[in-house]
Structure 1
Amino acid sequence: MHRYRSHTCARLRKADVGTSVRLSGWVHRVRDHGGLLFIDLRDHYGITQIVADPDSPCFAVAETVRGEWVIRVDGEVKARTEETVNANLPTGEVEVFARDMEVLSAAKELPLPVFGEPDYPEDIRLKYRFLDLRRETLHKNIVQRTKIIADMRTRMAEAGFTEFSTPILTASSPEGARDFLVPSRLHEGKFYALPQAPQIYKQLIMVSGFDRYFQIAPCFRDEDPRADRLPGEFYQLDLEMSFVEQDEVFSTMEPVMRGVFEAFAGGKPVTQEFRRIPYDEAMRKYGSDKPDLRNPIEMQDVSEHFRGSGFKVFANILANDDKAEVWAIPAKTGGSRAFCDRMNSWAQGEGQPGLGYIFWRKEGESLGGAGPIAKNIGEERTEAIRNQLGLEDGDACFFAAGDPKKFASFAGAARTRAGEELDLVDRDRFELCWIVDFPFYEWDEEEKRLDFGHNPFTMPQGGLEALSGADPLSIKAWQYDLVCNGFEIASGGIRNHLPEVMVKAFENVGFDRATVEDRFGGLYRAFQYGAPPHGGMAAGIDRIVMLLVGAKNLREVTMFPMNQQAQDLLMSAPSEATPQQLRELSLRVVAPKKD
């Protein structure tokens, strides 16, 4: 018999009754029922119940074992009685009566519990991640992650893509975040950068004559963490295609992404036809370029109902600012003063002066609007708003006014808040859509200059002619995002492949030709030797897995994540370098001046 096991802890069934087996694993928990010991033995695959009674030769050893000890058990498989069958376990119809038991490894008192998975401080969970990973939910999430990635690889191969690896030590690239820099020992005073994305390399792969590339790519960005973005390192399904336009990228990748979701959605419906929503429309209807389409609320412009009205706050805003608008956020079933007051309080907590509203209720046979705004604008305008929005008795509407560029994100947050509070969101589905036609440029208010709105290597709609003659802020990009349930899960575009277009695009944000040639020389040179039209995208694996397993945080789908302060508590990273390491790299640490 094998030194440690004849079966895994998930394999035994009723057909194995009467056989002698050997199992090894961790003690999940021990239960003492009046001298009869029950040990739940756990390994990577599952759990089997071990029974030791006082007549067992190994009973003395069994009495000593504690949670998370590693043991080997030899014994006989027996059927459980009908009343003790555990239908929640694949092995729940059987148990193993122990004849021999060996302690392979004892465990100290645990700094966090594995059994039961109670909430526990995150710093403890990350410091002892090897224990945290033994917990059933997290363990399953990590296993599911590997299956999702394997499924992606299979689907990409079936779609005609070939996996290539790109360098990790590379040059700095303007991907929108800070680089992680790596000092060079051989080239004093110079630094490599860890890739924020394989963007330039994958374009060079297309220029090199390969047609369809993909990889499960590690990406590194020195940016602040949040629930849907980990600090430091993340992974993406990166891909690029030659001789394609936007429609072909969509038609190629929709079946892949839909298939991945359907395979792991647990029966939840998945969008069959992905909507294409222009960026401007998304911002006006949803206040976000990553809208959750499970929320049925769509905002509308109701400015005309307030222009010259008795509600002077909005009327004056519209009269004094040509850019000003009033947007309505309809809220079906939200027609109570209590709910409207809660929304108003929430808005004040978000730093807003408040959130104006109207709610409709019947008084006898008459349906009328209530609230200060309804009173000030009168019955006719209130009724016109109701009709435009299709609202009825028991419904409400909230308003935001001013320059839409300044209030759109707040209005979008109010839409989200109302949808969740009123339980309008269908949480048992995956709703995917494309957001298209992003602005090529945007105005940086802090720097008072033009900047790229998204990926600087995207082809502008209209090409060189648009870059040379159009208002820069009016130019759209062949840029697109794939959105699911309020999360951006992929981003991509049709790339610029012409050197003069590349130079002009960067000139408009203040880079001269020499700077472009210096910073992006590899790509710039490649474009001068026959570059094919090409495009692609990158899908965030961590976010996709998070959505599919129903986790709330990326740390619940990542094996060894950092904490919110970008520290690896398990490995104590980052750490100080030794004086010898600094000398070899010609570096000296200069402490920042204290205020």
Structure 2
Amino acid sequence: MERTIVEEVIKKVGQKVKVCGWVHTRRDHGKIIFIDLRDRSGLLQVVFAPNFAPAHELANSLRSEYVVAIEGTVNARPEKMINEKIPTGKVELVGEALEILNEAKTPPFEIDSPQDAGEEIRLKYRYLDLRRQRMKNNTIMRHKIIKAVRDYFDHLGFLEIETPVLTKGTPEGAREFIVPARLWPGKFYVLPQSPQQFKQLLMVAGMEKYFQIARCFRDEDTRGDRQAEFTQIDVEMSFVSQEEIWQVVEALMIEVVEKLYPQKIISQKPFPRLTYAEAMAKYQSDKPDLRKDKKNADELAFCWVIDMPMFKYSAAEKKAVAVHHPFTMPNLEDMAKSPDEPLKWRAYGYDLALNGSEIWGGSIRIHRRDIQQKVFEILGVKQEEIERRFGHMLEAFSYGAPPHGGIAAGLDRIVSILQDEPNIREVIVFPKTGDNRDLMMAAPNIIGKKTMKEAHIELASDVENNETVEETATAD
């Protein structure tokens, strides 16, 4: 018999069906055994009675999280037994045949408990944590948001283009993960902090409208609610103004909220706009929370912060550094007015804040080689390093680079806010801890001496490594 998913059972009263899933809970009332069967679509009450003796006898051995297949007849529940809390609450399945597909150990925490277990144990057993309704809902809504984003940009004529994950170092501020190039001893790839350079080169290539759901990586020190790898909605356009970019993003966010979160209220449409100077003067923040009731999770207060500074002075580095990144176009009026005072320059840079969090950030890009060269000089990058690190970009600009601009969003942050979650780990399927450990996979881990030798890596003498890993052949 073909399987029926739980949410479809309600349409089949009086019919025989086969359902598969996990034993969510079990309750015994005299000789009758009740279980709630769980699959991805929902819960279904199943009744095992003595008149179907083989199934009833086997049901005596059922425990929470056993994986089962059950065949039986769908009956309407008596009126007094209807459960309005679940979509299938008006029916139940009479268990006539039962197959235990797999037994399960007692989980380290209760799957159906409304109380969270400790975060470390949840992350260690994330595959069990994801069985919980809250986590399943977060995963489903994340999928729906991504699909809505893809559909929106596809409708506008954007191309979804994948960019490389193994690349060269970039100047975007954070420390990068490095990957030894085994075939090129002494050389390294890095994992991208963003697809920034690639998406600009796609504009030089004439793609004109690009987007990507991109995986990004930053080897940062412990910084609160951050992840070493995260997901970005990445967008770039040619022959575009700031205004056009804002309109595209604003319409996207309104569409996502209205289609997927109709219970939420956007406080102002169109979104208000503040200059960076205004935001700092009025709210002492470049991502102000403009909600009237900051305890109301269903109020969404979007706000554009524009005219960002181009540079700021870094006391640690004792020099000017880029506020966004060095490919941001400076305000040409400010350049002309104060050519020797770059700390006074504004940028064609902008952020979109939501309820006090930055969710999108972008800029109009530099497309002229002379301006890009000037920015690198202000940042104190020597000519030799400019050619070594960015020669490919400067050369590309000499082959007819169009004016272009773009923006990127932290998908994890957007989902966490819309799902009313306290942190982004709750909306990432397999997150890491704040100090970048994967407790489920026990990563990072020690690698074998043979692998290290092949990659031309030798640990420094001050690195403690008391574990010796002997490698054995593994299947591909």
Bin the TM-score by the shorter chain. Answer: over 0.9
How far apart, CA to CA, are the structure 2 residues paired with 1:95 and 1:580?
A: 58
Question: Matched residues in 1 for 2:294 and 2:108: separation?
Answer: 41
1:5-41 deviation per Cα after TM superposition (whole angstroms, max 9, x unaligned): 2x1112112x522211111100000011222211000
- Any idea what SS the aligned residue of 1:561 has? coil
- CA apart distance, 1:424: 5.7
2:359 maps to which of 489, 502, 508: 489
TM-score by length of 1: 0.75
Deviation per residue, 1:301-355 (Å, 9 max, x gap): xxxxxxxxxxxxxxxxxxxxxxxxxxxxxxxxxxxxxxxxxxxxxxxxxxxxxxx
Q: Partner of 1:552 in structure 2? A: 422
Specify every segment of 5 or more residues in structure 2 that has no aligned partner in the other structure, as ranges.
465-476
Go from structure 1 to structure 2 and tell me whether the alpha carbon gap of 1:266 and 1:33 turns closer, same or farther (over 3 Å shift).
Answer: farther
- 2:379 is the alignment partner of 1:509: yes
Residues 362-416 of structure 1 deviation map (CA, whole Å, 9 limit, x = unaligned):
xxxxxxxxxxxxxxxxxxxxxxxxxxxxxxxxxxxxxxxxxxxxxxxxxxxxxxx
Q: Which amino acid in 1 is paired with 2:339? A: G
In structure 1, the residue matched to 2:216 is 219
- SS of 1:11's partner is helix
Cα distance change of structure 1 residues 274 and 201 upon mapping to structure 2, 3 Å threshold: same
Q: Structure 2-normalised TM-score?
A: 0.94
Q: Aligned runs of 1:328-477 on 2, under 5 Å?
A: 425-462=295-332, 465-466=335-336, 469-477=339-347
Q: Assess if the C-alpha contact under 8 Å between 2:307 and 2:350 holds in 1.
A: yes
RMSD, aligned α-carbons: 1.7
SS across alignment from 2:179: strand
> Could you say what secondary structure the match of 2:304 adopts?
strand
Name the % identity: 45
What secondary structure is seen at the aligned counterpart in 2 of 1:41?
A: strand
Instruction: Return the alpha-carbon distance in structure 2 between the equivalents of residues 494 and 131 of structure 1.
Output: 44
After superposition, what is the alpha-carbon deviation per residue over 1:401-436, rounded to whole angstroms, capped at 9, x for unaligned? xxxxxxxxxxxxxxxxxxxxxx66544211111111
> How many positions carry a matched residue from both structures?
462
2:173 aligns to what SS in structure 1? coil
Please name the residue that 2:33 is paired with: 37
Task: Quote the Cα distance in structure 2 between the aligned partners of 1:95 and 1:69.
Answer: 19
Q: Deviations over 1:236-286 (max 9, x none)?
A: 110100011211111222111221122222321124211111111111111
Instruction: State how far apart, in whole Å, the 2-side matches of 1:467 and 1:102 are.
Output: 79
Report the residue type matching 1:27 in the other structure. Answer: V
Match of 2:199 in 1: 202
Q: How does 1:166-205 map to 2 (within 5 A)?
A: 166-205=163-202
Structure showing greater Rg: 1
> For residue 124 of structure 1, what is the aligned residue in structure 2?
121
What is the 5 A alignment of 1:566-585? 566-585=436-455
Change (3 A) 1:208 1:218: same
Contact 1:53 1:59 in 2 (8 A): yes
Change (3 A) 1:552 1:225: farther
Q: Which amino acid aligns with 2:58?
A: V
Residue equivalent to 1:56? 52
CA distance, structure 1, for counterparts of residue 179 and residue 463 of structure 2: 24
What is the CA–CA distance in structure 2 between the aligned matches of 1:464 and 1:250, rounded to whole Å? 22
Cα distance in 2 for partners of 1:199, 1:467 equals: 29
**1:198-347 equivalence runs, <5 A:** 198-226=195-223, 228-230=225-227, 232-270=228-266, 271-295=268-292
Query: What corresponds to 1:146 in structure 2?
Result: 143
Secondary structure at the counterpart of residue 536 of structure 1:
strand
498, 522, 540: which one aligns with 2:410: 540
* Distance in 2, Cα, partners of 1:24 & 1:104: 9
The 1:593–1:150 alpha-carbon spacing in structure 2 relative to 1, beyond 3 Å, is closer
Query: Which letter does structure 2 place at the counterpart of 1:160?
Result: G
Distance 2:378 2:192 in 1: 25
- Correspondence 1:27 to 2:27: no
Q: Any stretches of 5+ residues in structure 1 without a counterpart?
A: 296-422
Is residue 72 of structure 2 the alignment partner of residue 75 of structure 1? yes
